[in-house]
């Protein structure tokens, strides 16, 4: 990628989009285009078409999406499938019409079958039923992958898909109803410490396993894929290590400095038992994650404290 290439980051205010913008700027890319939701409604096909026709970026990082944790996915099912379908369909189609040759689409590890062999290889896609709690979001993201694949086949575009595992880091969502597990545990452990509580409530059984990738590592992987001139395909992005929910809760408690007891709330769903990604494709390209779970949690906690003080 040329350092003054015109780069549109869709979703630049979200956790992943803001990390991509931050890492691109740090790498010396100066011509970044961003629009807030108020400035550009990505659900509206007409305004997206007009915007891309006018701007004609050289590259697009498609990090805009409606995202959330297990409870949000299971509650706002129609919003998750509709909004994510419209965002990706509008941007991919308008990008092709505007002659944008390079685009990176971001999905999630929940696109893979609930009970497929672990670690999960990219070729396991569509080989079995999905986890019910996030099927709407997963179906939408699978369509995004297929949009890229088929625009490449019919129109010769170079649209690539990156599938991250559970992400966390600066600019995360700390709302306890809609967030993912890690930011929720950071906030809950902090508030329990401040209140002097003796217990930390953790949803589910604590037995599911999750792989956690620090968002700046994900941003670096996205930029890496664009800089390597990868023109097509699906790439898992992860750390190749997973832990139980109990273990990640214990790590959060240690970093935050809360020494109470964990209480498991069995009324909440466990979701997928495990979704460890096989990351051989990225490794063969020469990329691997750098941030350890404990270091990433410490950085996230610092970000949480900064945001809470604002
Ligand atoms: O991160 P999370 O919400 O989503 O939940 P998924 C992961 C696990 O953490 C589940 C447990 O087993 C939860 O029961 N958990 C424990 C908690 N305490 C909490 C808590 O306070 N909040 C939350 N949220 N979870 C998502 C998909 O699945 O993964 C999305 O729904 C996306 O679509 C995302 O793919 C990456 O990891 O289960």
Write the pLDDT tens digit of every residue in 142-198. Answer: 999 999 999 999 999 999 999 999 999 999 999 999 999 999 999 999 999 999 999
The CATH number for 53's domain is 3.40.50.720
Q: Is 227 within the bounds of a domain?
A: yes
* Domain coverage including residue 41: 7-169+212-240+277-291
How many distinct structural domains can be found in the chain? 1
How much is the pLDDT for 2?
Answer: 94
Residue 155 annotated as catalytic:
no
Q: Residue 287 domain-assigned?
A: yes
- Encode pLDDT of 66-114 as tens digits: 999 999 999 999 999 999 999 999 999 999 999 999 999 999 999 999 9
Centre of ligand 1 to C-alpha 229, Å, is: 33
Residue 108, annotated as binding a ligand: yes
Please report which helix (H) or strand (E) contains residue 10, including its range. strand 7-10
Q: Is residue 123 a part of any domain in this protein?
A: yes
**ipTM field:** 0.98
Ligand 1: centre distance to CA 39 (Å) = 31
Summarised one tens digit per residue, pLDDT across range 41-61 is 999 999 999 999 999 999 999
Residue 188 belongs to some domain of the structure? no
In a domain? residue 58: yes
Locate the ligand 1 atom nearest the alpha carbon of residue 138 and give its number.
Answer: 33
pLDDT of residue 310: 84
Residue 233 lies in a domain: yes
Active-site entry in 137, 159, 168, 301? 137
Q: Is 55 a member of any domain?
A: yes
Flag whether 309 is in a domain. Answer: no
């Amino acid at each position: 990628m040329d350092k003054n290439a015109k780069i549109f980051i869709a979703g630049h205010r979200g956790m992943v989009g803001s990390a991509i913008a931050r890492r691109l700027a740090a790498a010396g890319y100066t011509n970044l285009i961003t629009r807030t939701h108020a400035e550009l409604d990505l659900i509206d096909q007409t305004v997206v078409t007009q915007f891309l026709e006018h701007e004609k970026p050289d590259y697009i990082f498609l990090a805009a999406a409606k995202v959330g944790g297990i409870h949000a996915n299971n509650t706002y099912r129609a919003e998750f499938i509709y909004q994510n379908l419209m965002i990706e369909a509008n941007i991919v189609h308008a990008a092709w019409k505007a002659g944008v040759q390079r685009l990176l689409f971001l999905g999630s590890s929940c696109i893979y079958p609930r009970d497929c062999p672990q670690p999960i290889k990219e070729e396991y896609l569509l080989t079995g039923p999905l986890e019910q709690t996030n099927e709407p979001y997963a179906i939408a993201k699978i369509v995004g992958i297929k949009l890229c694949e088929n625009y490449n086949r019919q129109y010769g575009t170079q649209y690539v898909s990156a599938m991250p595992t559970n992400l966390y880091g600066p600019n995360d969502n700390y709302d306890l109803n809609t967030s993912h597990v890690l930011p929720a545990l950071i906030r809950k452990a902090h508030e329990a410490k401040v209140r002097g509580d003796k217990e930390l409530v953790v949803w589910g059984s604590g037995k599911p396993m999750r792989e956690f990738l620090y968002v700046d590592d994900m941003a670096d992987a996205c930029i890496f894929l664009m800089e390597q001139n990868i023109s097509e395909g699906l790439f898992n992005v992860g750390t190749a290590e997973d832990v139980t929910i109990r273990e990640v809760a214990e790590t959060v408690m240690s970093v935050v400095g809360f020494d109470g007891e964990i209480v498991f709330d069995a009324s909440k769903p466990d979701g997928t038992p495990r979704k460890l990604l096989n990351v051989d494709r990225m490794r063969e390209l020469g990329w691997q994650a750098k941030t350890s779970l404990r270091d990433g949690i410490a950085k996230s906690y610092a970000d949480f404290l900064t945001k809470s003080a604002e």
